[in-house]
Structure 1
């Protein structure tokens, strides 16, 4: 029997509350399909930072390197600045393991009310593909004259031909397997160097994928169209910053960021990929047992697909759809009163 070794990083806040449901779902669907899991849990978190001065140990990447995949709960907690928590854990994993593709599926499920009147279940089903390791989130820059009136900060964007081309190829190939449509997010009318370069490479890769109908939209207009007409989209590809913003906006369009999953992929599989819900650590509800586990469970389904079990992944997303469409069980973020455990038990029953 195939056995997958998974690294679990619960992290902070509700991260520790949503990973156990995801693990239960993985074990259940694995037993049905004839494969299993071994888990190693790491206590890397803001609590560890407060205790030891680092989010993870210096050999953290070495400890993860032999795992088949990583399942992360959440990162961030009051008292630890976000740039410390993210750059101490999440970003080193993404960059150290060349997880240069971030994939965020967006879907309006039957049974979840979108804030948009026109957001009809079954009609909105698209994917945001985000460049994940360079772009606007580079480490190049610095601060000068700290504390003086002429203090300044410089942050450099870095767009490389290799970095942009590989994420574009992933997005075009994904679009070819889906509806055959791709939109590229840009702002080349205002950003004079990096985004025209991005546009040129989109056109270049588009010629190599004639089966895909592609276009580009300026980021401001694109954000408006996410709200005004989200059903028009199939695959949207964007730089690190633009993709980050668009995918959170799209999750809100789908009804709740609490259900949104994400995959940080190393497509060549030279290193483990990482899967995570995007809802954050939610310290305001941590410890109350009411966190929505769907984001973590859907992320686990994406992990199953990456590990070569698409049928098992389909079972999980089918169970997610069923619990939302066939029951009125909802966690508070979806307007209900169910606990994390209540919701998980019902999903397992339907699975």
Structure 2
């Protein structure tokens, strides 16, 4: 038996509400299975903390977090704080310092959830998004501000190591699950330098996997294909920006951001990985107890899988499906009238039935 130490960052808005339900489900697993136990420590590093201290986390914050087995993250964002501050002073430092270079985003249509598309097959694919460099690099600047000649430069940083380690993780996943094709999201016909290197390294990595075919698809065409035939995709490997956009598009195809989890992974386990829903803090519904907690609970399942408890992750996913298929306890975004905590309670009950 291993006792896991989980750092919890609820954040802002609906973050604390959905995190509460995620922890509730984890506790249900621990209550039913003595081989899985955990301790959680909550850190109130959010916009209120920023307004009081002029920083999103303490100076020693990263040193504190690195001692944990995993990080469960809610959402950040508050109208009182400029939007870029929570991202660049909390989320990005964690992702980059802890070398969480794989952003894993499952796109799966769950039974009982209607897609806005008429799809014959099953929508079930993964976006493997580069998470530590790319377009989201703090490299650039502005000149001649507040003049007619003002200009801004934002540099994209693509490295051979960054592309190789992400694509290798994606190809390893495809090989493990007997997937014969990986789609490479690119735009190297127009972005010739950074995307040119990206394509080269993806192809070099693919050459080591004889049973897997790599298919280059330009990002604009790929967005169209995801709408036209989403059931034909299994694995997509993409840069930071492209992966962000494609996974949000995918989320819209399978029920919305309330059903969209993610994992920020350090595959070598040198540092803790972080698990969070894709949605934001949604200040417009904060405090109303109507936020969908499923993305957060599903993110917890991704954490369990990363920690080596695929068995428990499977129970969580089947319990989520049980509740959605029953259709009687759903939040408004899924056409129901249930509250956030009621959905959490229903999933806990489903977990107990399956344990």
TM-score range, shorter chain: over 0.9
Q: Flag the 1:119–1:42 CA change in 2: closer, same or farther, 3 A.
A: farther
CA contact (8 A) 1:257 1:278 kept: yes
1:197 is aligned to: 197
1:335 is aligned to: 335
1:71 aligns with 2:72: yes
Q: Flag the 1:42–1:203 CA change in 2: closer, same or farther, 3 A.
A: same
RMSD over equivalenced CA pairs, Å = 1.0
CA contact (8 A) 1:119 1:230 kept: no
In 2, distance between residues paired with 1:164 and 1:137? 14
In 1, distance between residues paired with 2:180 and 2:315? 25
2:276 is aligned to: 276
Shift of 1:134: 0.5
TM-score, with length taken from structure 1: 0.98
Shift of 1:295: 0.5
1:157 is aligned to: 156
Aligned residue pairs total 349
Determine helix, strand or coil for the equivalent of 1:110: coil
Shift of 1:180: 2.7
2:109 is aligned to: 108
1:350 aligns with 2:350: yes
In 1, distance between residues paired with 2:328 and 2:118? 20
Determine helix, strand or coil for the equivalent of 2:250: helix
In 2, distance between residues paired with 1:81 and 1:171? 34
Shift of 1:80: 1.3
CA contact (8 A) 1:30 1:312 kept: no
Determine helix, strand or coil for the equivalent of 1:129: strand
Shift of 1:119: 6.2
In 2, distance between residues paired with 1:217 and 1:128? 14
In 1, distance between residues paired with 2:32 and 2:235? 32
In 2, distance between residues paired with 1:183 and 1:176? 14
In 2, distance between residues paired with 1:192 and 1:280? 33
In 1, distance between residues paired with 2:189 and 2:30? 49
In 2, distance between residues paired with 1:307 and 1:183? 27
1:293 aligns with 2:293: yes
Within a 5 Å distance, the mapping from 1:132-143 to structure 2 comes to 132-143=131-142
2:50 is aligned to: 49
Within a 5 Å distance, the mapping from 1:1-351 to structure 2 comes to 1-33=1-33, 34-118=35-119, 123-178=122-177, 179-351=179-351
TM-score, with length taken from structure 2: 0.97
In 1, distance between residues paired with 2:342 and 2:140? 48
Structure 1: 5+ residue stretches without partners: none
Shift of 1:138: 1.1
